[in-house]
Chains A and B, each alone.
Chain A
């Protein structure tokens, strides 16, 4: 990602939109006990398209904003989302994936990491009460809902971030697809025969 004022504004707007959308709409729509979590998907999308450093910075900012807005324990969401952003960013840097459907498992994995790690952090910090086994069901539902939402959220984030991206995985894939395929025996590829 090209670090610029425009890029910061874009990411900031994305996060603000995600947090407001999460608090005003998605958190109030319960489906089978769980709810979708678009903030973690936005963090994962930024990390996926921009890399690990912007990913963990975005995760930290998103967590900070979320804790500020919800009145939850400050720092807990930041800690977990920083790790999520970094993880997704590193996956992208190491594997250089370009498959069009990769946001689906990526979003699902990021959400799973987020709900599990956040539950662990919350449990360690200040949950004194008995925890119902239903939280596991809610976590699974959140992961499933986010899996469904991942593709459109990633696509939207890519559209917003595109002007600031150094490497766009979708463009890379398109370029690869446009290159003529070489045919013939493996041993003769690239040779003027």
Chain B
């Protein structure tokens, strides 16, 4: 049935409540912070506070349950995102570490060139190691520079390493034994076929540096005359000897390593000197090929690195 009275009452109720709402809204906006509605709100909030506090505590298990459920759902996405982030960061870390290592090696090479006694005018060409020999018998590397970059056979190769005090040092690494247009092969001084004419500084005792196969951290300076005393900690450099028709491939003054032990055998004619090479031959990433021989007038004056 259509009841006019009910309709009027209903519309009046709606109008009253809407008008009340608008009036409250207007008054709320019109009054200052200390006005009636603001004060009422503050009072209500104070009154509600204990109820809300109690309810919050009582309902914590419910919230935790839903939180746990929500977290579990979110965890799947988060897991995926975090895995991707870890992957990215790992890659960035690897790049950063590689760059740091390269920088350290390059610093070592630069430091080597600044050393007094190091041969000048050698026009070094920096190259990156792109492959290494997998066996201990044939210690060789392949570098990414070849004849196109001025690299020729038998040119000396130097590399850097970090010494015990943490500073970068460098030393002789080997020589070029094969060259192509864009690559070259370096035979390291640890290769069984290697032999480098060397001199202990400042004593001046001469000999030939030979490898101890299988131990790249130990070289042997052989054929050192028994009468010339060699002490531990002294430096061994290339001697760059020149006979009438024979000449050393390595110019004079390139550091090779440091004397670690001297075998004094009274019976033998020569003493055997153990050397730890400056170049970290197991972990070379960057090398320099000395593409030009130094002027013949240069003299060697080697100072400890």
**A interface residues, Cβ below 8 angstroms from B:** 20-21, 23-25, 28-31, 52-53, 56-57, 59-60, 63-64, 67-69, 71, 73-76, 78-79, 82-83, 86, 125
Contacts and interface: CB of A to CB of B under 8 A. Distances in A.
Contact of A31 (B21, B22, B25, B66): B66
12 contacts: A25-B62, A29-B70, A52-B13, A53-B13, A56-B17, A57-B17, A59-B17, A68-B41, A74-B27, A75-B22, A78-B20, A82-B14
A52 B14 contact: yes
Contacts of B25: 73-76, 79, 125
Interface SS majority for chain A = helix
Contact of B55 (A24, A56, A57): A24
A78 B59 contact: no
Contact of B59 (A25, A59, A68, A125): A25
Contact of B13 (A20, A25, A56): A56
B283 interface: no
B137 interface: no
B212 to A, nearest CB: 68
A60 B70 contact: no
Interface stretch (B43-51, B215-223, B226-234, B255-263): B43-51
Contact of B9 (A29, A53, A64): A53
B40 interface: yes
Nearest to A72: B41
- Interchain residue pairs A-B with the least CB separation, the first 8: A75-B25, A75-B24, A79-B21, A24-B55, A68-B44, A25-B59, A74-B28, A78-B21
B48 A69 contact: yes
